[in-house]
Amino acid sequence: MKLLRYGPKGKEKPGLLDANGKIRDLSKHVDDVAGKVLSPASLKKLAKLDPAKLPAVRGNPRIGPCVGSIGKFLCIGLNYADHAAESGLAVPPEPVLFMKAISAVCGPNDNVEIPRKSKKTDWEVELGVVIGTEAKYVSEKEAMNYVAGFCVINDVSEREFQIERAGQWDKGKGCDTFGPIGPWLVTKDEVKDFNNLNMWLEVNGKRYQNGSTKTMVYKVPFLVSYLSQFMSLQPGDVISTGTPPGVGMGQKPNPIYLKAGQTMRLGIAGLGEQQQKTVAAK
């Protein structure tokens, strides 16, 4: 299934994308694509619905973040060997963990704000993992039992704030609109090989990132297990698993950063596409 949320910001309704690419309303069956709705039993129940019998959504509504009421937005840094190399950094001996503020979450096609005083706002296409069942001290072998599905994430980053302003990475990662999520939450049964998904990102039509999850250092089951050793993972928590090479900071001979008025377009095979316009923060 491809689950989604549509409508004005803060008033999104739950939906399902049918085989013809049409949005179907799930409001009579679930309140939101969030929390317990992401459990295996709930997803199994939704999968039995006939999309053709669900109300079709008219027009072209805004698509919101594909998960509602996110509790934790967990991110893994330097998790692609080729991206670590372009950054001039060694692959870490354990996953690097940081968090984005929940206020960074936005829809996949919403505007991305360039923060005030920003000099180095950058892009990162990433595979998102959505937790469906509480996970605490789970093994790598069992880890996928706790995953509801996958999505596209743009881990927008302000590199000066992140690297040059002292302290942790969070300052450069959690700015408003720095976490576009979606368009769909694709349930794991539809993602046959999450270790080999092509992923890409363009700015103003020029492709900068063109990679694959196959170069991920720490794979999804390991990450879910690893994170669950430090904190319980709750239904609706989102894990952003790292980016392949081609970020602005890594461009040669000189880095390239985002400015207001540009368009980012990105996607992952089978998980859909995002498109954001950059605007100056007010």
Is 42 inside a domain boundary?
Answer: no
pLDDT per position as a tens digit, 211-235? 999 999 999 999 999 999 999 999 9
pLDDT at position 81 is 84
**Averaged pLDDT of the chain:** 96
The answer to whether residues 95 and 223 touch, using CB atoms and an 8 Å cutoff, is yes
pLDDT in tens, 238-250: 999 999 999 999 9
Any domain includes 45:
no
**Overall number of domains in the chain:** 1
> What is the reported pLDDT for 243?
96
For residue 7, tell me if it sits in a domain.
no
CATH number at residue 200: 3.90.850.10
Q: What is the helix (H) or strand (E) element at residue 84, kind and residue range?
A: helix 81-86
Contact predicate 239/75, CB 8 Å = yes
Report residue 84's pLDDT band, with 50, 70 and 90 as the boundaries.
Answer: confident
| CB environment 94-128: b (16+ within 10 A), e (fewer) | ebbbbbbeeebbbbbbbbbbbbeebebbbbbbbbb
Is 87 or 138 the better-scoring residue by pLDDT? 138
Domain assignment of residue 251, yes or no: yes
Q: What is the mean pLDDT of residues 199-211?
A: 98
The answer as to whether 10 is a domain residue is no
205: confidence class by pLDDT, cuts 50, 70, 90: very high
Split at pLDDT 50, 70, 90, the class of 191 is: very high
Whether 71 is covered by a domain: the verdict is yes
Upper half-sphere CA count for residue 144 (Cβ side, 13 Å): 13
Over 80: is that where the pLDDT of 137 sits?
yes
The answer as to whether 213 is a domain residue is yes
Q: What is the pLDDT of residues 17-60, one digit of tens each?
A: 999 999 999 999 999 999 999 999 999 999 999 999 999 999 99
pLDDT at 271: 98
Residue 111 maps to a domain:
yes
Q: Which domain holds residue 230?
A: 67-280
